[in-house]
Structure 1
Amino acid sequence: MESMKNRESKTAGSLIDDPVILRLFERMPHSVQESFTEEQLMHLKVAVGSRGWGEHAVDVRGSFRGWRHRYYYVMLFGRNRRHLTPGQKRIHNLISAAMLTGFVCVGLLIGLLGLYLLKSAAGIDLFPDHSLGIWDWFNSN
């Protein structure tokens, strides 16, 4: 088998400097890294490096230690290139509708709060001797 030193002495087109191979090598012991031939590295690059789903505008990954186990988190954001099944489309539409409804409700609440504060600042009293206490709280802060 070819050693790592022999591979390094090859041409500049060697796979040893390829970003995909370097990411793989970061996760394995040095003795295992040296055991790969150039042909094996080429096949590894094709198998691992051809992931079209690996490119995202936002790709945040990490892990943390819990009480007994390690946990990981992944946040991906990018253009959806998947072909959804009818069931997945229904779920997507339901979640989208729920999120839109939530945003509209929060927007309405913020808008109503703003109108209430403007009304109170203008001294308009729609219900005499009744207050929600929001204006008093707003003034005290």
Structure 2
Amino acid sequence: MDTPEKRPMVIERFYQALDEDTAASLSADQKAALEEAVLSITLTTRQRIDIRRTVSFFGRRYFYVFLAGRDRRNATRHKSTLGRMALSVLVFGWLLFCAVSVFITLYLIKSALGIDVFKHFHVGLWTWLIEHQR
């Protein structure tokens, strides 16, 4: 186990947040396992480029983070069911809009050319369009 001076800041904060009696009751193996677990789930980075800065702007402090490097995550991200359903509805709506637009365009072209597919049956879209053109 590292000395407190050599431990990462996140480990120091973890021990500050932990109850003193609980921290004192942990064995060296338990502390090492806890420190390894904390380091594996926190924002400690192993990226080649890690820039974290703060900027003062109009009396407030803002921070920015720039990370770049190889993606070492081994698990795929969990996508929400609601998000996938919303995307499915959006894609279906877009495809339906495109299909209806194509059919209306083809119908207007057919009507403009004077082609009757069914005798004595017209939707009236071409007639309505001609009447309201003025």
What TM-score bracket applies, with the shorter chain setting the length?
Answer: 0.3 to 0.5
Tell me which structure has the larger Cα radius of gyration.
2
TM-score (normalised: structure 2) = 0.44
Q: Which has the higher contact order (CA 8 A, sep 6+)?
A: 1
TM-score (normalised: structure 1) = 0.42
